[in-house]
Structure 1
Amino acid sequence: MTPHVTTGNPADIAATGASVKAADRAHVFHSWSAQALIDPLAVAGAEGSYFWDYDGNRYLDFASQLVNTNIGHQHPKVVAAIQEQAARLCTLAPGFAVDVRSEAARLIAERTPGDLDKVFFTNGGAEAVENAVRMARLHTGRQKVLSTYRSYHGATAAAINLTGDPRRWPSDTAAAGVVHFWGPFLYRSPFHATTEAEECERALAHLADTIAFEGPATIAAIILESVPGTAGIMTPPAGYLAGVRELCDRHGIVFILDEVMSGFGRTGKWFAAQHWDVTPDLITFAKGVNSGYVPLGGVAISGAIAETFATRPYPGGLTYSGHPLACAAAVATINAMEEEGVVEHAAHLGANVIGPALAEIAERHPSVGEVRGLGAFWALELVRDKETREPLVPYNAAGADNAPMAEFAAACKASGLWPFVNMNRTHVVPPCTITEAEAKEGLALLDEALTVADRHTTSA
């Protein structure tokens, strides 16, 4: 592992790291974790596509943290913008017009499809989903919202009920007005499809039936991730999003696309929906809008829904909606992405570097059942048997059942690659600014780590 050059006495630096770890374990309560069973890495710094610990171990960030550092760590233009804004105006209530807030909204609206020209700012993606659902319910006068089983929409009250993955279960009230349905996923088709066209047709028929049996006049919204993220980066088949748009139009249902993870260059477009020329009524965003440098999310709103609240007060708000520091970071991020061709670079990486390399890796490794993705947004489905497609670990595996994936992740980290691992998948989601050389370095490390997963296949 390549050490990062640090200044000062190595023993003093290591002692600082130990102190940081001790304070964390004494006082920080971590997300999604059994507190006594975790061992968080103490991080000393980060730059570009890398971060490092206090022992000098450097990691290539193939997770973009939580798929949010689209522009990489410590981008100088964004750091400078935050510093300049802090010196000028740190905070102001959301009821005022503020230059960076207005400019951030304008830049976002310029890049959204269709007439999504109004922006309601939140602190992150879950709050964006909460408010999008509230807007849809008030706009339609209906209560039900449909979402897929393979999804993640956040951890707040409505968002966690909309979520499909097992993190929903402890908080699911079964009374939140949410109905789940199956989205398209040919590799593990719930519709017994054999082609993308069949999967699309049958998934749309299933959704149409769900709408019919739930009662179209009771449904406020359908929410989808344009490309599901944590659930597995399943790119929708051609025609699927357009088909959902048509069903929504037919029944007066609001169409919400969750672009919290897939937006702002991640898929090689500003928004993933643009790959399929589909315009929803609402788009939720966060993460890549400013690479998470300061918390920011929001909802991009169509003209029709904005008009609902032209003379009727919108019953929602946040103290830090459109926070100046966060908006300054967003303005700098979007401008830097435009100036440096980051979105185009992500598209190039997917088509010419990451995609082809992962296809070759899949050929070499019996543990890789499928590769899927686009831009800087990819997943490898790891299996015990390519023929039967048995997952490398069971659904929602924990403890000993999850050992093969835990061993694989440990092998990645030992080599200096920080992976994004979920259930039986590893995702390849580096910063959209990663160089070709860095991407190839990471792919080589991934290739080697997969030999650990191979040991748990039926061919081993």
Structure 2
Amino acid sequence: MVASQPVLDQAAAKAAVTNAEAVALDRANVFHSWSAQKSLNPLVIAGGSGSTVWDHDGNTYLDFSSQLVNTNIGHQHPKVIAAIAQQATTLATLAPSHASHIRGIAAAKVLSHAPANMDKVFFTNGGADANENAIRMARLHTGRDKVISRYRSYHGNTGAAIVATGDWRRIPNEYARGHVHVFGPYLYRSEFWAQTPEQETERALHHLRRVIQAEGPQSIAAILLETVPGTAGVLVPTPGYLEGVRALCDEYGIVMILDEVMAGFGRTGDWFALDAHNVTPDLITFAKGVNSGYVPVGGVIISGDIAATFDDRVFPGGLTYSGHPLAAASVVASIEAFEEEDIIGNAARIGRQHLEPGLTSLAEKHDVIGEVRGRGVFWALELVQDRTTRTPVTAEYMGRLKAELLRLGLLPFIADNRIHVVPPAVVTAEEVAVALAIYDQGLTAAGPAGR
């Protein structure tokens, strides 16, 4: 240990802490992601339970961000906490080359809710390296190089995953090869001059086909899509789009990868968001909701056809913590809780009976809401200065709105000109009612959108 570093003894760790002390310690030592460091003033979270979190100073918040849209099972679910603790007393770590009973159970549990063609699970540390390894599998399976993904997308912050990403974060990180981007369906801001969902689907698929043809089908290994783009705006695909992508993949021998990192495990009111569509991919990536981030974990669900590619051929990839026992135990306990407590059904009912009608009512009251879209506990309010022009509200407006929501006791997920309404899948109808009232008050207090 470096002598100049302060040592926190047990007594100090157990002493009462204030928000100011937590922030001071954080700012002195922690380098934050996606941020300019100098002006940061992070919100302090000291604990949580279910859909609620609190700080050291006694303030509580309804967590309608689910942190990074990952605490699907809520904070501190007792079954998951107990499973992690029990596993820690049995075997806290294990190299991935060994067989592990808990790892095998975790993989079987994941596969039990995946499409029937899925055969194996490759565990990773999170969603980014899940996408990274899915891309690697597709390239090795096909012998091709290029990967097509969408401009409105986010796939993680590793080499290929960040270049597959479509938003601004890709641009300073473009070190990986062979990536091509297309526009997907987004009827509210159609790139295709579409007036109906059917037109949007038809024209988006035509655009994709032409890009495949122009790039050379024989050079394209995979099409990588978030089933429902999350950070990009909860962009529920127009009817027939995913099925059309599947047909194009079949026609040209391309691997279809569906990124379910954010959309999977109850977020849309289904086990996987793809369950609402007549589509079966070749690879599925997951993380986040599979264990709500209690222990870092992700993975690739692999079809039998692609898994067979590596029966006699070495797969050149691996991670020290692949299928970590604590992570595997948390996956098993989470999925069992989903099954036993009907958490997936709760997410679907909350979306259908409470969030959809409640958010629609907000839009009727507040002209700043240009569109409401989503499923389950995965919704977005797109905010505009004018509903006719659909000009997005300013960053300054979004800052005012976020401050009001926090002041009123709700932790929001804000992205660009949108509020993403993404509570845990265990959220109750009563909590939704409180949150809807806070959104209403916050939108009123934020003032005119043009300011």
TM-score interval, smaller chain: over 0.9
After superposition, where does 1:352-367 map in structure 2 within 5 Å? 352-367=353-368
The Cα shift of 1:14 comes to 6.7
Q: Partner of 1:389 in structure 2?
A: 390
After superposition, where does 1:204-215 map in structure 2 within 5 Å? 204-215=205-216
Aligned pairs, how many? 438
For residue 108 of structure 1, the aligned residue among 91, 107, 110 is 110
Matched position secondary structure for 2:379 = strand
CA distance in 2, matches of 1:232, 1:64: 16
Runs of 4+ in 1 over 6 A off after TM superposition: none
CA distance in 2, matches of 1:453, 1:142: 51
The Cα shift of 1:17 comes to 3.3
The Cα shift of 1:37 comes to 1.1
Matched position secondary structure for 1:359 = helix
CA distance in 1, matches of 2:88, 2:103: 14
Q: Structure 1 regions of 5+ residues with no counterpart?
A: 1-11, 394-401
Q: Partner of 2:220 in structure 1?
A: 219
What percentage of aligned pairs have identical amino acids? 60
Q: Partner of 2:6 in structure 1?
A: none
Q: Deviations over 1:409-432 (max 9, x none)?
A: 111000000000000011000000
CA contact (8 A) 1:64 1:72 kept: yes
Indicate whether 1:46 and 2:48 are aligned: yes
CA distance in 2, matches of 1:15, 1:67: 27
After superposition, where does 1:112-261 map in structure 2 within 5 Å? 112-173=114-175, 176-261=177-262
The Cα shift of 1:114 comes to 2.8
Matched position secondary structure for 1:43 = coil
CA distance in 1, matches of 2:351, 2:418: 18
CA contact (8 A) 2:119 2:307 kept: no
CA distance in 2, matches of 1:379, 1:367: 13
Q: Partner of 2:326 in structure 1?
A: 325
The Cα shift of 1:42 comes to 2.2
Indicate whether 1:455 and 2:441 are aligned: no
Q: Partner of 1:397 in structure 2?
A: none
Q: Deviations over 1:125-172 (max 9, x none)?
A: 000000000000000000000000000000111011000011111112
Q: Structure 1 453/384 Cα, relative in aligned 2: closer, same or farther at 3 Å?
A: farther
For residue 429 of structure 2, the aligned residue among 432, 436, 450 is 436
CA distance in 2, matches of 1:242, 1:454: 43
Indicate whether 1:424 and 2:417 are aligned: yes
The Cα shift of 1:113 comes to 1.3
CA contact (8 A) 2:18 2:57 kept: no
For residue 60 of structure 2, the aligned residue among 37, 51, 58 is 58
Q: Partner of 1:9 in structure 2?
A: none
Matched position secondary structure for 1:111 = coil
With normalisation by structure 1, the TM-score equals 0.94
CA distance in 2, matches of 1:37, 1:130: 32
CA distance in 2, matches of 1:448, 1:116: 47
The Cα shift of 1:197 comes to 0.4
Comparing 372-381 with 108-117, greater Cα deviation is found at: 108-117
CA distance in 2, matches of 1:409, 1:233: 19
With normalisation by structure 2, the TM-score equals 0.96
CA distance in 2, matches of 1:82, 1:152: 29
Q: Partner of 2:7 in structure 1?
A: none
CA contact (8 A) 1:13 1:54 kept: no
The Cα shift of 1:86 comes to 0.3
The Cα shift of 1:20 comes to 2.2
Q: Deviations over 1:158-208 (max 9, x none)?
A: 0110000111111124x6210000000000000000000000000000000
Q: Partner of 2:287 in structure 1?
A: 286
Indicate whether 1:405 and 2:398 are aligned: yes
CA distance in 2, matches of 1:293, 1:255: 29
Q: Deviations over 1:300-345 (max 9, x none)?
A: 0001100000010100000000000001000000000100000011
Q: Structure 2 regions of 5+ residues with no counterpart?
A: 1-13
What is the one-letter code of the residue matched to 1:233? V
CA distance in 2, matches of 1:297, 1:179: 25
